[in-house]
Amino acid sequence: MDFLLQENWKVQPIDFHLSPPLIAPKSWDFWRGVSRKERIMKFLIKVAFALISSGASAATLGTGGTGGTYYPLGAALAQQLNSSQSIHFEAAVTKGGDENVQRVISGDLDFGIAMAHQIANKSDALRVIARLHGYKLHLVVRDDGTIKSPADLKNKRVMTGRAGSLSIIGSSAVLAAYGLGNQEVELVEQPSFSVTEMTTSIVRGDVDAFFWFGSIPTAGISDLLTTSGYRLLDIDPPLNGEWNSSGFFQREAIPANAYNGQKKDVKTISTYNFLFGRENSNGHNVRLIAGSLEKNRETYASKWSWLGGWSPNISATMTTPVPLHQALNVGVVKRQEKSPSLKRAEVPTTIGIDQAIEKCRELGIKQNTERFGECVLKLSR
């Protein structure tokens, strides 16, 4: 007789002369010539592997309030991961990006979602896993012909956003790029973070223009532009100026017809939201998240279509100003589909993301552009 601990924590006898069929029912021949000690070791190894494979670990993802953008986005990601992976992801309700950054650094959360400017100063501790949806800067002005360029905002009343908001960071940077500061522009304080407050202020005549960083389309601005007397203004500053030394912003456009009466693209700048973790975050979990985002791009694009800024072609390598997580620097984020017409020997050899980035630079493609991201994605998949 030999002994093993049972669930009731009492030592119970087990006759291992009878146990082999239960462990390996294929054939008694498997156990022929195997000592009792070897049988026990094989059995314990099988049990250990079973426990490891059945015991799914857990990870928490900091999102935002239930009425905001981050929570439904994070919940959709967690749902997709939980349906296909051996790990339980939980979308935690938080107060948003700033809290997510603090709690991920402290270890209270495993992962989080935040905007570029919220994580940029923490790049020594944090690493990006994927770039998510973007926000574009809207400059709405009275359509009376007096403001044709951001430079014409001199001596005008401009609402730039609430202190600490993304809108005030973006608008201050743009005004600086056009040589305008607090002395040249009458800045009107925004009491809350609501775009409704901005649209109401311009309708009442309290301001001549306002800046708003938001997704496309932003409902409040859509409502405003259905009436005559207001329009979107091009924002086209040089991106290599000191005003963008942080690298938060990219040059993009608000596409034609995004808003009522908008017949052509409107030039602007954008910034993005990132899904991030710690520098020492579990590499396996990092690859699960990035792999899910890559493999299920169209699914997520459909679920998050209301964001307006999500594009299935966004590359996780475009993470300026925070480095990509090192677990993804070996080309693990690849498209899953392979052309059926290619034989195994004809499938091109892939290279790591770092090598792909360097190659795209050598090709002369401008970094931090969609074209650069697509180049890196093609070379590394």
DSSP-assigned letters across all residues of 214-254: E-SS-HHHHHHHTSSSEEE------TTSGGGTT---EEEEE
**Range ranked top by mean pLDDT from 11-25, 296-310, 331-345:** 296-310
Which domains are assigned to the chain?
2-54 (no CATH), 135-272 (3.40.190.10), 336-381 (no CATH)
**pLDDT (0 to 100) of residue 20:** 41
Q: Show the tokens assigned to 197.
A: 């407050």
- DSSP state letter for 353: H
Using an 8 Å Cβ cutoff, are 97 and 232 in contact?
no
pLDDT band at 92 (very low <50, low <70, confident <90, very high): very high
Instruction: Tell which residue, 46, 69, 40, has the closest CA to residue 275.
Output: 69
Tokens 């017409």 belong to 341
Mean pLDDT, residues 361-377 taken together: 66
CA 219, 224, 228, 231 torsion-angle sign: negative
CA distances from 365 to 354, 369, 371 (A): 15, 8, 7
SS3 state at 335: coil
* SS3 at position 269: strand
Of 65-74, 105-114, 148-157, 170-179, give the lowest mean pLDDT range: 65-74
Are the beta carbons of 235 and 176 closer than 8 angstroms? no
| Weakest mean pLDDT among 119-123, 241-245, 289-293 | 241-245
Identify the pLDDT of residue 134. 82
Mean pLDDT to the nearest integer, 7-27: 39
Residue with the two structure tokens 């910034």 = 271
What would the pLDDT profile of 227-284 be if each residue is shown by its tens digit? 889 999 999 887 666 677 767 788 889 999 999 889 999 999 988 888 999 999 988 8
Q: Among 313, 314, 311, 327, which residue's Cα sits nearest to residue 276?
A: 327
Across the range 98-102, mean pLDDT stands at 94
* Average predicted confidence (pLDDT) for the chain: 75
Residue 267, class by beta-carbon neighbours within 10 Å (0-12 exposed, 13-18 middle, 19+ buried)?
middle
pLDDT tens across 317-353, in order?
A: 567 678 888 888 754 444 333 333 323 333 334 456 6
* Predicted TM-score (pTM) of this structure: 0.62
Look at strands 209-214 and 157-159 and give their pairing: parallel
Write down the pLDDT at residue 336.
33
Per-residue pLDDT of 144-198, as tens digits, reads: 889 999 999 999 999 988 777 788 888 888 998 898 988 899 998 777 767 888 9
DSSP for 275-333 reads EEEETTS-HHHHHHHHHHHHHTHHHHHHHTGGGS---TT--TT--TTSPBPGGGTTS--
Tokens of 198: 């901005």
The conformation of residue 340, written as its DSSP 8-state character, comes to T
Confidence category of residue 121, pLDDT binned at 50, 70, 90? confident
Q: How many CB atoms lie within 10 A of CB 128?
A: 27
CA distance 25 to 14: 18
The pLDDT value recorded for residue 351 is 57
The bridge status of strand 87-92 relative to strand 266-278 is unpaired
Largest CA distance in the chain: 97
Question: Is residue 25's pLDDT more than 50?
Answer: no
Q: What is the pLDDT of residue 223?
A: 92
Name the token pair of 135.
Answer: 């926000």
Statement: residue 85 has pLDDT above 50: yes
Least confident of 15-24, 57-66, 229-238: 15-24
